[in-house]
Amino acid sequence: MTIQVAPTEIRRDLLTRREIAILDLREEDPFARGHPLFAANFPLSRLEIDAFERLPRRDVRIVLYDDGEGLVDLAAERLAALGYSDVRALRGGLAGWAAAGFELFQDVNSASKAFGELVEARRHTPSLPAPEAKALIEGPQPTVVLDARRFDEYRTMSIPTGVSVPGAELVLRARSLAPDPATTIIVNCAGRTRSLIGAQSLINAGVPNPVVALRNGSIGWTLAGQNLQHGQSRRYGEPGEAQESEARRAARNVAYRAGVRRLQPADLSALSAEPDRTLYQFDPRQPEEFEAGHLPGFRNAPGGQLVQETDHVAPVRGARIVLADPRGVRADMTASWLAQMGWEVYVVDAPEAAFAARGPAPRLAPEPPPAAAIGPDDLAARLEAGEATVLDLGPSPAYRRVHIPGAWFAIRARLATDLAKVEAGPPLVLTSPDGRLARFAVADIETLTGAAPLVLEGGTAAWVGAGLPLETGLGRSASAPEDVYKRPYEGTENAVSAMQAYLDWEFGLVDQLARDATHGFYVI
């Protein structure tokens, strides 16, 4: 049985900034219903796939918990097999944390969202309600709308006239997108956090224009009965030389005010060599810039999303974070926010020639165990003859988009209870998007059934690549799709009540932070 640790000891680690990774082993939907502030969603279903990138130091202190589902001991065994040596269990699980009188936070990325609310409360970040913003956009006064979300989110739905400028790009690009200081800049996202952080970034950097956040983002726009656009493709362009120079100067000043530390490449090497500290190395630019040239050993984490999703990208609270950006602005502005969120954060000042690594960063993950495989064409023939059953273990959104005809959707961590629902004829064939997760699940199936399943070689991607028939929708579902929390601020078919409830929750986060008292946030 896994060694247990009391909630009070975990709280002490958070308060004293000791490195700790608090991992919630449940799927995303139950996680979003309640968890400690700095817990990271780390589903048992994907543990081997995610561990090396999200937990880079093998002797980091890890605390596991669930809510009585029995996931902890199995997760501890799998982590030990991967080489993690300091793995413990939260005494009493989620209920034990609540029984100790400690706060439970809802939704995902809760710490970042709470920080955004604190920023607004402390700095009184200006914002406009949707009807006033609409009148400004349609009126005679020059106005630009800058959408601080990922481009794919912007494409799904956007404010009319909005331009996609993901958060870390705002300070670099805004002076060129609104060169007339009389032009009002409206920053929006889907809800509140990225609107507030984006608008305050421009204000902190001294952009001379009037800057406001769109109050409550596209949720507020929708609740006001105003129409959104869909499928837009307006994106930022390159800044002028003078505007970029001013952006660099301003961003560095903001980073200095926030207490960001600066490194030379030799300093980074020394930091990387320290064995007793977790070090995350991120390049906060957009993927296309990152892949055109980045520092070796760095991973891509666009800055706006890094600030929004820090718990996912860097689940070790108390770790060090180093950022690198040849133009400086994205790293400096991202670092300024991470520092205010309590991270020990650095920016490395490396010459542009050092950004020589090309393409996506190599994925850090263990090699899945060998498994008996079947090719797409062979599987298609067996399915046609009724001589195989496919079990798809990939994420439910991927399954809904496209899956092998007749395949069953299942969550790996739920197989012990849900496999019996599958109407299986031999052989059972496992698949996942690229086949890796399916190979890790072979031993699970063999333990449950006494027979080893086959694995689709190359996963569902290979089936699609072979041009074989496909189905869409949830189809046959052995497991409820609780691997994904339905965000009230994403997509276009959200209930009004859910959107309003989400806003009401966000409005209460500052008070909840005060009750929790472990955050260590400050606002410059």
Instruction: Let me know whether 125 and 233 are in one domain.
Output: yes
Q: List, for residues 26-64, the tens digit of each pLDDT value.
A: 999 999 999 999 999 999 999 999 999 999 999 999 999
Rg (CA), the chain: 24
**Residue 227 maps to a domain:** yes
Rounded Cα–Cα distance for residues 256 and 279 (Å): 21
Helix (H) or strand (E) holding 438: helix 436-440
**Residues contacting 249, CB < 8 A, separation 6+:** none
**Helix ranges restricted to H, 205-261:** 217-223, 241-258
- What pLDDT is stored for residue 491 in this prediction? 65
Residues 6+ apart with CB under 8 A from 331: 284, 303, 323, 324, 325, 347
Asked if residue 347 belongs to a domain, the reply is yes
Q: Which two tokens stand for residue 47?
A: 């543990």
Q: Tens-digit pLDDT profile for the chain (524 aa)?
A: 899 999 999 999 999 999 999 999 999 999 999 999 999 999 999 999 999 999 999 999 999 999 999 999 999 999 999 999 999 999 999 999 999 999 999 999 999 999 999 999 999 999 999 999 999 999 999 999 999 999 999 999 999 999 999 999 999 999 999 999 999 999 999 999 999 999 999 999 999 999 999 999 999 999 999 999 999 999 999 999 999 999 999 999 999 999 999 999 999 999 999 999 999 999 999 999 999 999 999 999 999 999 999 999 999 999 999 999 999 999 999 999 999 999 999 999 999 999 999 999 999 999 999 999 999 999 999 999 999 999 999 999 999 999 999 999 999 999 999 999 998 778 999 999 999 999 999 999 999 999 999 999 999 999 999 999 999 999 899 999 999 998 877 766 677 888 888 888 889 999 999 999 999 999 99
- Structurally, the chain folds into a number of domains equal to 4
pLDDT of residue 498: 82
What are the start-end ranges of the H helices in 273-309?
287-292, 303-308
Whole-angstrom CA distances from 460 to 258, 365, 430, 443 are 46, 20, 10, 20
Q: Residue 354: its pLDDT value, please? A: 96
- Residue 426 confidence (pLDDT): 80
Residue 449: which CATH number? 3.40.250.10
d(CA 162, CA 239): 18
Distance (Å, whole) CA 62 – CA 84: 9
Q: Does some domain include residue 359?
A: no
pLDDT of 376 reads 97
198 and 258 inside one domain: no
CA pair distance 94, 398, nearest whole angstrom? 29
Kindly report, residue by residue over 233-261, the tens digit of the pLDDT: 999 999 999 999 999 999 999 999 999 99
Same domain, 27 and 103: yes
Does residue 514 form part of some domain? no
What lies within 8 Å, CB to CB, of 288 at 6+ separation is none
Instruction: Give the containing element (helix H, strand E) for 88.
Output: strand 87-90
Q: Decide which of 435, 459, 477 is a domain's last residue.
A: 477
- pTM, 2 dp: 0.95
Task: Give the domain-ending residue among 77, 111, 145.
Answer: 111
Last residue of a domain, one of 111, 133, 151: 111
Residue 11 belongs to what domain range? 4-111
Q: What is the pLDDT of residue 475?
A: 87
Q: Describe the strand order of the beta sheet including 4-5 as a list of residue ranges.
A: 4-5, 87-90, 62-65, 21-24, 39-41
Number of Cβ atoms within 10 Å of the Cβ of 468? 15
